[in-house]
Amino acid sequence: MDLGLAIDRRAPVRRIPLGDGTSWVDLVEGFVPDAGALFAEVLAHGRWAQNEVLRYDRYVPEQRLSAGLPKSGPPLAVRQADLHLESAYRVRFDGVAAIHYRNGADFQGLHSDRTMKWLDDTLIAIVVLGVRRPFVLRERGISANHADPTPAGHAPDDVVLMPGEGDLLVMGGRNQRDWLHGVPASDTDQGRISLTWRWTSRRGQPDTNPTYYDGRQFSDRARQPPNRRR
């Protein structure tokens, strides 16, 4: 399906400063006007799989599906979005990753994208297709008792956005160093797909702190990769 000019390059950008202003989020509502058609096309083209992530000494299935998409292949809108983002932010992003939340039971806990290592100056652009659901940002170190927010409530200092239906969200600056983000479980039977582009300037001090996510073992077994496909 050829969607023609499938993005709105003229849609206004609203910048939301976070914390002391070194982190921010750009929100572009209606970036993909025909979001339903793109949702269906990405769903059909993606080679979806449920990954497993190593948590200390065992693999745990992620509660969502993942797929990679070529930047230059179908859907055409993905290529158009890629060109627009590189022109607007004047950087070369990595390849496009897609995540499919099949319904409200699928979620992503609060985290930062530490796999980029250099976190002082990054960009993460997300085109959100499908149902609107909370996208939660929390300053690192605040409200530790609410590690994974739920529809029942959010920590008082959380920044909660509701992207969906073709909106574009871009996290920038020190966002991955100083803030966490996630998509909590939600009361819906509808699907959500996020298309994600990432970039880091590789400036500043790299993050070398260990996590339970990086393949460490707490036994005498051989070291294993941090994630795998089911």
Percent of the chain with pLDDT over 70: 81
| Residue found by looking up tokens 């008792």 in the block | 145
In a domain, 65, yes or no: yes
In a domain, 7, yes or no: no
In a domain, 206, yes or no: yes
Name which residue leads in pLDDT, 186 or 222.
186
The per-residue DSSP string of 136-203 comes to: EEEETTS-GGGSS-BTTB--TT-EEE---TTEEEEEEETHHHHEEEEE---S-SS-EEEEEEEEE---
Question: pLDDT category, 175, cuts 50, 70, 90?
Answer: very high
Segment among 120-129, 147-156, 166-175 with least mean pLDDT: 147-156
**What CATH number does residue 198 fall under?**
2.60.120.590
pLDDT surpasses 60 at 226: no
pLDDT surpasses 60 at 34: yes
pLDDT score, position 150: 47
In a domain, 9, yes or no: no
In a domain, 6, yes or no: no
Burial 99-128 (b: 16+ CB within 10 A, else e): bbbbebebbbbbebbbebebbbbbbbbbbb
In a domain, 77, yes or no: yes
| Residue found by looking up tokens 């921010």 in the block | 24
Token code pair at residue 197 = 């582009």
Domain count, the chain: 1
In a domain, 36, yes or no: yes
Beta-carbon contacts of residue 208 (< 8 Å; ≥ 6 apart):
117
Q: What is the residue range of 50's domain? A: 14-224
In a domain, 37, yes or no: yes
Nearest Cα to Cα of residue 31 among 200, 194, 198: 194
pLDDT surpasses 90 at 87: yes
- Round to whole Å and give the CA distance between 16 and 24: 6
Beta-carbon contacts of residue 212 (< 8 Å; ≥ 6 apart):
54, 55, 56
- Round to whole Å and give the CA distance between 219 and 223: 9
Average pLDDT over residues 11-33: 96
- Round to whole Å and give the CA distance between 173 and 134: 22
pLDDT surpasses 70 at 230: no
**Is 31 within 8 Å of 11 (Cβ atoms)?**
yes
Give the pTM: 0.86
pLDDT surpasses 90 at 180: yes
Question: Cβ atoms within 10 A of the Cβ of 144, count?
Answer: 9
- Round to whole Å and give the CA distance between 20 and 17: 8
- Backbone phi, psi, residue 40, to 5°: -65, -35
| Residue found by looking up tokens 């070194």 in the block | 22
pLDDT score, position 1: 35
